Amino acid sequence: MTTSSTEQFFKNPVLGHPAGLFVLFFTEMWERFSYYGMRALLVLFLTASLFEEGWAWPREHALSLYGTYTSLVYLTPILGGYIADKIIGYRMAVVLGALLMTLGHASMAVDSHFALYLGLFFLCVGNGFFKPTMTSIISQMYENHEHKKDGAYTIYYMGVNAGAFLGILLCGYLGEQWGWHWGFGLAGIFMFAGMLQFYFAQNIFGEVGKKPVKTDAEQITEDPSIKRNPFLAIDKIFIAVSALIGLVWIINDPMSKIGGADVFNFQVGSLSGSNFMILFALVIFIILLVSRIVRYAPIVRDRMIAVSIFAFFTVFFWAAFEQAGGSMTIFANDYTDRVLEGSAGIIFRISNTLITIIPLGVITWVLYLLFKQTFAKYRLANLILGGSFLIIWALVLTMLYEQYTAESPEVPASWFSVLNSLFIIIFAPLFSKVWESKYNPSVAVKYGVGLILLGIGFGALAYGASDIPQGAKVASVSIIWLILAYFFHTMGELCLSPVGLSYVSKLVPGRMIAMMYGVWYLAIAIGNKLAGSTGGMIDQVTQEYSLSTFFLLFLLIPGGAGILIILLHPLLKKLMHGIH
């Protein structure tokens, strides 16, 4: 793409950036609204009693399905990104992904088991097309404007967190107060609005994101000094076998627990068939990874080893962090005193009003600026976007009215999840300043501190749950422990999460980035599945030991991993060969 072809985007800017960035901002905001809104409700709905119009599933079953869903959310973009990049183009992938996710949310608004599974399937496939393409469009829009790219991604990720915040707040409110399927349906309405808004405004991107056409110019951008390492036939076999077993294992886990249909219904020595097969797939994948890495020149080899080490520790982080949608949601619902009386109720009402109205007001102002630049040319897209915001404001005011008129407001169990997005919005600029200063620590230290802070958050929950009797199913613990947990978890996320993919791009030669991105998303997917599996042990551990012991495990394991990676700093520094 030439300089002149991207200059057009900067002729009539909004806040110094192309108007197209804000089309992506709002499209991504609605997608995150729908994803996090549904995620906040899924486990609550599945474990709620029949009297509460839930399905009364055992916690282990609900968390097994939750872990499979969130795991597939990170696996499907590996294939979806390839299809978008090579076959259908980014813009078509966004529309197709958004449409499939709309159908997924619509299915989940129907109260049947088939509709739930069909909905989750559509959501996973749709996410595979949608997730990897949005940032690719931004990257192409800012070609030859690298100095503005950091600011663009900052604005974009504010949209991500704004969507997560509003989705959890409003889908959670509707789901818990009006009915679960109202919450699922609301997620689908705004996903559909996001798709329509993008579709009718997509000409704002010019030629960016259309069906790709391979040219000879793409061939000469490769670094000739990097030795080519084509996939051998055995490599492809190993990839196919490990991927197939892993995918079947992820789906089989909830299927065997919920439906009693176990694909791996056999024993190998003391190992169950399920454990044997996933260990077998893991061994094959490790052999594949090692065999490929050792074929490269020493510097490239060392840097890829460093990326693999970081990916390994990433598993520990997400296995603990993603308890937010599982065991921590159960703790909020069943073990936390959420009915606030007297001054506590007043403080909550005022705080909730401020953290809702102020961000929504800022986003509405951004919407107004976008209207001024684009309404004449993209009237329909803007009307859809404006109508969506009228619905949002109506829901927010209704929610606040009900909270102010209630004698003793009850904090929705899903509400605590909004704290993650809120803390990110507040503290991300501070962390960004530190990373850009002379006090910027090494990546190993960032990882270690992130894992340790994550563990401290679970330490707060372990302490708060210390008086809950062994085997208890309900309790009334102060909400302060969940607030502290989300605070420390978010501080840990700000240390670790943003640096991961950044260092993949720094350490890995361009020709191998796709493979290592795949490894990275695989690590996150494994972490998400482990989050569901380990979270599903909450009843077993609480029955045999205590709820405090359950959360204490998540203090010790991530905390220990954090200390270990800090100790590995000298080795990692050597392996990275000057990359900081």
The pLDDT score that the predictor gives to residue 6 is 67
How many angstroms separate the CA atoms of 396 and 406, rounded? Answer: 16
pLDDT top residue among 391 and 519: 391
Q: How does pLDDT run across 224-255, given as a tens digit for each residue?
A: 556 667 788 998 899 999 999 999 999 999 99
What is the Cα–Cα distance from 94 to 92, expressed in whole angstroms? 5
Cβ atoms 423, 522 nearer than 8 A? no
Task: Report phi then psi at 476, rounded to 5.
Answer: -135, 75
Contacts of 390 (CB under 8 A, 6+ apart): none
Write down the pTM of the prediction.
Answer: 0.91
CA distance 38 to 183: 7
pLDDT band at 222 (very low <50, low <70, confident <90, very high): low
Residue 381 confidence (pLDDT): 93
Query: For the segment 73-98, what is each residue's pLDDT rounded down to a tens digit?
Result: 999 988 888 888 888 888 999 999 99
Instruction: Choose between 189 and 159: higher pLDDT.
Output: 189
CB 462 within 8 A of CB 551: yes
Q: Please, what is the average pLDDT of the chain?
A: 89
C-alpha dihedral over 31, 32, 35, 41, to 10 degrees? -130
With 70 as the cut, is the pLDDT of residue 2 above it?
A: no
85 with 212: CB under 8 angstroms? Answer: yes
Q: Are 420 and 486 in contact (CB under 8 A)?
A: yes
How does pLDDT run across 342-359, given as a tens digit for each residue? 899 999 999 999 999 998
Q: Provide the 8-state DSSP code for 231.
A: P
Interaxial angle between packed helices 569-576 and 547-567, expressed in degrees from 0 to 180 and rounded to the nearest 10: 50
Nearest to 416 by CA among 491, 485, 497: 485
Residue 440 — very low, low, confident or very high, per pLDDT cuts 50/70/90? Answer: confident
What are the φ/ψ torsions at residue 407 (nearest 5 degrees)? -65, -45
Q: What is the mean pLDDT of residues 432-439?
A: 81
Long-range contacts of 386-391 (CB under 8 A, 24+ apart): 387/193, 388/30, 388/190, 388/193, 388/197, 389/364, 391/189
Task: Retrieve residue 128's tokens.
Answer: 């595979």
Whether 107 has a pLDDT exceeding 90, the answer reads yes
Asked if residue 218 has pLDDT above 70, the reply is no
Report the SS3 class of residue 177: helix
Query: How many Å apart are CA 85 and CA 513, to the nearest integer?
Result: 14
Report how far residue 124's alpha carbon sits from residue 101's, in angstroms, rounded to the nearest whole number: 8
- CB-CB neighbours of 244 under 10 Å: 11
Domains and CATH numbers, the chain: 1-213 (1.20.1250.20), 230-295 (no CATH), 297-338+417-580 (1.20.1250.20)
Q: Is the pLDDT of residue 188 over 90?
A: yes
Confidence (pLDDT) at 135 = 80
CB 335, CB 469: distance < 8 Å:
no
Asked if 320 contacts 488 with a C-beta cutoff of 8 angstroms, the reply is no
Instruction: Please return the burial class of 426, using the count of CB atoms within 10 Å of its CB with bins 0-12, 13-18 and 19+.
Output: exposed
What is the DSSP code (8-state) at residue 268? E
The confidence score (pLDDT) of residue 578 equals: 84
pLDDT, average across residues 173-184: 93
Q: What pLDDT score does 215 carry? A: 47
pLDDT digits (tens, 9 = 90+) for 271-323: 899 999 999 999 999 999 899 888 888 898 999 899 999 999 999 999 999 99
The residue type found at 579 is: I
Whole-number pLDDT of residue 48: 93
Can you give the pLDDT at residue 220? 40
